Amino acid sequence: RVDYLGCYGHPWIQTPTVDALAAAGVVFEAAISQAPSTCPSHCTIMTSAYPFDHGAENGKPMRDGLVTLADVFAAHGYETAAFVSSTTTRSISSGLHQGFATYEDSLVPWARAFGRDELQHLILSYVLGVAQRSQIPGRVVSDRALRWLADHADRPRFVWLHYFDPHSPYGSPPPYRGMYAGRINDGRPYAAERERYAEDITYVDAQLGRVIAALKSAGQYDEMWIIVTSDHGEAFGEVHDGVREVAHGRYLYDTTQHVPLIVKPPASAGIRPRRVAEQVELADIAPTLTTLLGMPTPQAWTGVSLQAALAGRPASDEPRTAHAFNIIDIPAAEDPGRVDFVQQIALRTPQWKFIAIPRKRHEELYDLRTDPDERTNVKTAHAELLPSLRAIVAKFWDSSRAVDDDPRQRLAPALIRQLEALGYMGGQPEPETDDGEGDVGDSTPDDRSPPATQKP
């Protein structure tokens, strides 16, 4: 969550590594994620394509034929490497390995036999049906990245580090475990879960700090571009239009869609530290990097370069509308015992947030200036705005591409269990914390029409 970082105003969560990057770089105060769950959001970051265009869901890889940011870097002589940490970013179930010469996604912390463990995954999941852990700790991500960086210090590098720890099941290893116990006493729900989530963020900050320290020790930090962001946020019982939101994945409110975005430039770039209030999208990251490094930007990419914003100028002539998308399950109208999978779309301007489920004819409108927490649906009071907003939604919603069936069909039983452990399939348990013995599920909130299964 954007508000769980010191550089974004949190008063006591310790994030010295990220705060230092923010102090040396550019902080975007209104960065919006295009999806509320891991795989589709990261695919947007890497392809600058909106989720309905790249087609990825948790457990379903993005479609063929896309050009990734790693593809562009590799084509221009960069060493490319990624170190990821959950079942939702594994190569076989996401496609995110495209363009990376090294893609370490093994969920066995001690395993180094396979860089991309597709063989391991196929053998264990498809043949034996054995479920592995659904994630690995940030320490393992940093260990793998540090080894690779030490062995590839003599060529230009594009490296992606993916830390999954601030995710249910909440809770980090000692000495972070319990470090914020009792700090939250505001009368709002899920205090213990919020404290555990906060310790997860401090833990990840420390793991990123290990990598930053190594880069500084090697004399490489000063001239590096470093980008810090999050694929989505997290909800802890916030109420929107009478509906309580928990965890992430089903709804498109700012609790999950407003995310941090920090760009630390090279010292020689001449970019001064600043904060940018202009609304931007995570889809802008890829074209920003290609522009900054003088590489051609693929025409199919959706985002815009933020090079001007980094220099203190507007990135766009007019205020931009940000977009978010997902697929959710709702009871079928003709048979409440069955579910249909339908598209949900959100449009966000500097003042308004419009959320629509076209198949369900459900709409919500929030005035972000007077109601930043999106509590009161004002679509009736501002009905004059709805036609233009519906026209924008119509550009994205293709009724001929209705998603009546679960888009993750034919998953291996082991992969299904891994997704269930992360709360992306199955029932709707309350959020839980990690007892140190294994993975437990997160949750989604109840809906006006409670889903029979979990969201994609």
Domain chopping of the chain, boundaries: 2-310, 322-401
Q: Note the pLDDT of residue 59.
A: 84
Instruction: Report the 10 Å Cβ neighbour count for 441.
Output: 24
Element housing 277 (H / E)? strand 274-281
Q: Note the pLDDT of residue 107.
A: 81
Q: Note the pLDDT of residue 124.
A: 56
Q: Note the pLDDT of residue 430.
A: 46
For strands 322-332 and 352-357, give the pairing.
Answer: unpaired
Q: Note the pLDDT of residue 398.
A: 67
How does DSSP assign 338-370, residue by residue? EEEEEEEEEEE-SSEEEEEEGGGTEEEEEETTT
d(CA 226, CA 216): 13
194, burial (CB in 10 Å: exposed 0-12, middle 13-18, buried 19+): buried
Q: Note the pLDDT of residue 391.
A: 94
* Cross-strand bridge partners of residue 104: 83
Token pair of 406, please?
């679960």
d(CA 433, CA 95): 30
Beta carbons of 111 and 65 less than 8 angstroms apart: no
CA 447 to chain centre: 22
**pTM for this prediction:** 0.87
What's the CATH number for 2-310?
Answer: 3.40.720.10
Q: Note the pLDDT of residue 141.
A: 96
Beta carbons of 96 and 46 less than 8 angstroms apart: yes
* Cross-strand bridge partners of residue 32: 258, 281
HSE, side-chain direction, 13 A CA sphere, residue 12: 9
Beta carbons of 6 and 14 less than 8 angstroms apart: yes
Q: Which residue has the tokens 């105060």?
A: 29
**Closest CA relative to residue 36, chosen from 312, 278, 245:** 245
d(CA 86, CA 63): 20
* Cross-strand bridge partners of residue 26: 263, 274
Q: Do domains 2-310 and 322-401 have the same CATH topology?
A: no
Per-residue pLDDT of the chain (456 residues; tens, 9 = 90+): 999 999 999 999 999 999 999 999 999 999 999 999 999 999 999 999 999 999 999 889 999 999 999 999 999 999 999 999 998 999 988 999 999 999 999 887 655 544 455 555 555 555 555 445 678 999 999 999 999 999 999 899 999 999 999 998 899 999 999 999 999 999 999 999 999 999 999 999 999 999 999 999 999 999 999 999 999 999 999 999 999 999 999 999 999 999 999 999 999 999 999 999 999 999 999 999 999 999 999 999 999 999 999 999 998 888 999 999 999 988 887 887 888 888 999 999 999 999 999 988 899 999 999 999 999 999 999 999 999 999 999 988 766 555 555 554 445 455 555 555 555 554 433 444 444 333 222 333 333 333 333 333
**Closest CA relative to residue 295, chosen from 159, 158, 160, 162:** 158
What's the CATH number for 322-401?
Answer: 3.30.1120.10
Contacts (Cβ under 8 Å, ≥6 apart) of 319 = 278, 279, 349, 350
Radius of gyration of the chain (CA): 21
Q: Note the pLDDT of residue 436.
A: 38
Contacts (Cβ under 8 Å, ≥6 apart) of 433 = 169, 170, 171, 192, 193, 196, 440
Q: Note the pLDDT of residue 317.
A: 84
Q: Note the pLDDT of residue 67.
A: 98
- Give how far Cα 238 sits from Cα of 25, 258, 374, Å: 31, 14, 9
d(CA 389, CA 50): 18
